[in-house]
Amino acid sequence: MTDSDPPAIRTRFAPSPSGFLHLGSARTALFNWAYARRHGGKLVIRIEDTDVERSTLESEKAVLEGLEWLGIDWDEGPLRQSERSERHLAAVERLLSTGHAYRCRCTRIELEERRTQTIAAGRKWTYDGLCRDLELGDDCGPHTVRLRLPEHGELGWDDAVYGPSGQDASEIGDRIIRRSDGLPLYHLAVVVDDLEMGITHVIRGADHHPNTPLQIALYRALDADPPTFAHVPLIVGSGGKKLSKRRDSVSIQDFERDGILPDALRNWLIRIGWSCGDQEIFSADEICASFDLAAVNRSSAQADAEKLAWLNQHYIKELPNAEFVAALMPFLSQVTSQAVTPSDGLSQLVELQRERGKTLVEIARLSRWFVNDTIDYEEKAVTKHLKPAIGPPLRDLHDALAKLSNWSEESVKSCFDAVLAQHEDLKMGKLAQPVRVALTGGTVSPGIFETLAVLGQARSIARVEAALDLIPPA
């Protein structure tokens, strides 16, 4: 490496572990991952757990599991911000010794009083600098430490998504960086960590855009160059509405539980507010090969549920058989309340069901009849299709099926042909639908011959027999 080479790209994902992995955070993580991978850089995970009351280990675990489920891997970490407070406090001491920070004795009550007066007089409140030039020492009694900002001057940066951004220092005022109980404040911790971890690109939610001027001031005070900042617009629902926990799926675990495949969710997330020509389908490798901050749209990030359903169906179609069976099994176990294990029948069944549902949950629901021998009959279907007139042909079909010595789509079809030949007025549809009700309890299933073939002879015959018992006497 020569002096003129830019430093290797280092990005970070810095979740606050106070809940599940939220959709917006997952997208931020994905962008950081994609950018690092695209440029042969490194992704660092930093858990921002300094808010002791809200941070939990359980949430940290959920966040990391969510990342893994999405296929987002990282190179360093997870590091915990709470374990670095000595570094944060050392930076405060440095700032005090260089005069970029000073001790402030103003109490909360005094500050509140002055703030109220200022606002009542129609002015905007920023710290009024009462302790700014007092040169208070450590023995000044209870105190906070404030960052000394220039009185004027642009704290600006060229945001990789929003373009030229910034605020005048006078609008921010001297902010507290160490509390009176000796704890470092959040913005200081973020800047010190990003600096010491050599982060070159801070890619994060646009809700942090307003925090950036103060953070830039901290970089300058620490005599360091700020990284590149890229703020990505927050995700909104279709129609531009804020996502709501009650109405929308908002955590990665919600989507997993709803039967969305990780490949589909990752593809969906990367395309929310980012595009590359008119390409819609992106494998993980394609994301890493083409992701670019310049193409992140600063104005919109709409989550379109129909698009996700479409993508999920696409990835379900692409799944190799064994993977599909493995993905579906937990859902089948759940909807049938039985432990489902892989079998040849299940492998054949999933092929029949592949294109029949948009999620694994839907497909599992449509496949309940295959697992459960106790059929959940739909009352309407029984009344409509299991009428006295169907009794004799259904009995004949039962007997013909029972006699078969080889069970296949072709052989069961020959039984239907024979029964239709015997009962002249009967049409295929009129026979197939009662059989479908017998086998599945309802009127929706794959083709009737395929359904019989996959269910097997013994189970099929037993179900037709049970249906014959449901037919009322003529």
Give the ranges where 70-121 is alpha helix by DSSP (H). Answer: 85-97, 108-120
Site for ligand GLU in 68-127 (CB under 6 A): none
Q: Which is nearer to ligand GLU, 208 or 354 (CB)?
A: 208
130 Rama sector, left if φ>0, alpha if ψ -120 to 50, beta otherwise:
alpha
At its nearest, how many Å lie between ligand GLU and the CB of residue 13?
A: 8
Q: Which is nearer to ligand GLU, 272 or 375 (CB)?
A: 272
Per-residue CA distances from 248 to 183, 237, 359 (Å): 37, 8, 16
Q: Which residue is nearest to ligand GLU (CB)?
A: 204
Residue 169: name the closest of 213, 138, 124 by CA: 213
Piece in contact with ligand GLU (CB under 6 A), picked from 10-18, 29-37, 232-240, 292-300: 10-18
Q: Of the candidates 15, 19, 14, which has an alpha carbon nearest to the alpha carbon of residue 56?
A: 19
110 by Cβ neighbours in 10 Å (0-12 / 13-18 / 19+) ranks as exposed
By the 8 A CB rule, do 213 and 166 touch? yes
Write down the catalytic residue from 61, 241, 242, 245.
245
The correct pick among 37, 39, 204, 271 for binding ligand GLU (CB under 6 A) is 204
Q: How far is the CB of 27 from ligand GLU (least distance, A)?
A: 12
Burial of 142 (0-12, 13-18, 19+ CB in 10 A): exposed
Nearer to ligand GLU, 48 or 263 (CB): 48
Give the pairing type, strands 10-13 and 42-47.
parallel
Q: How many Å apart are CA 435 and CA 386, to the nearest integer?
A: 9
Give the residue, chosen from 16, 50, 59, 359, that forms a contact with ligand GLU under the rule CB under 6 A: 16
Candidates 23, 44, 176, 190; binder of ligand GLU (CB under 6 A) is: 190
Sign of CA dihedral 265, 268, 273, 277: positive
Closest approach of ligand GLU to the CB of residue 26, in Å: 12
Minimum Å distance from CB 265 to ligand GLU? 20
Site map 206..235 versus ligand GLU, x via CB under 6 A: --x---------------------------
Rounded to whole angstroms, the Cα distance separating 272 from 44 reads 23
Q: Is 308 in the site for ligand GLU (CB under 6 A)?
A: no
Bridge partners, 42 (sequence order): 10
Pick the stretch among 9-17, 156-164, 290-298, 425-433 that binds ligand GLU (CB under 6 A): 9-17
Which letter, b or e, does each residue of 390-410 get, where b requires 16 or more Cβ atoms within 10 Å of its Cβ? Answer: bbebbebbbebbeeeeebeee
Rounded to whole angstroms, what are the CA distances from 429 to 38, 259, 327, 385?
56, 33, 34, 11
384 carries an active-site annotation: no
Candidates 12-20, 69-77, 174-182, 233-241 — which segment interacts with ligand GLU by CB under 6 A? 12-20
Residue with smaller CB distance to ligand GLU, 46 or 148: 46
Shortest CB 233 distance to ligand GLU, Å: 14
The span of 13-21, 65-73, 98-106, 228-236 binding ligand GLU (CB under 6 A) equals 13-21
Among 35, 48, 143, 232, binds ligand GLU (CB under 6 A): 48
- Taking alpha carbons only, the member of 16, 24, 85, 84 closest to residue 54 is 16
Site for ligand GLU (CB under 6 A): how many residues? 7
Q: Which residues bind ligand GLU (CB under 6 A)?
A: 14-16, 48, 190, 204, 208
Catalytic residue numbers, as ranges: 245
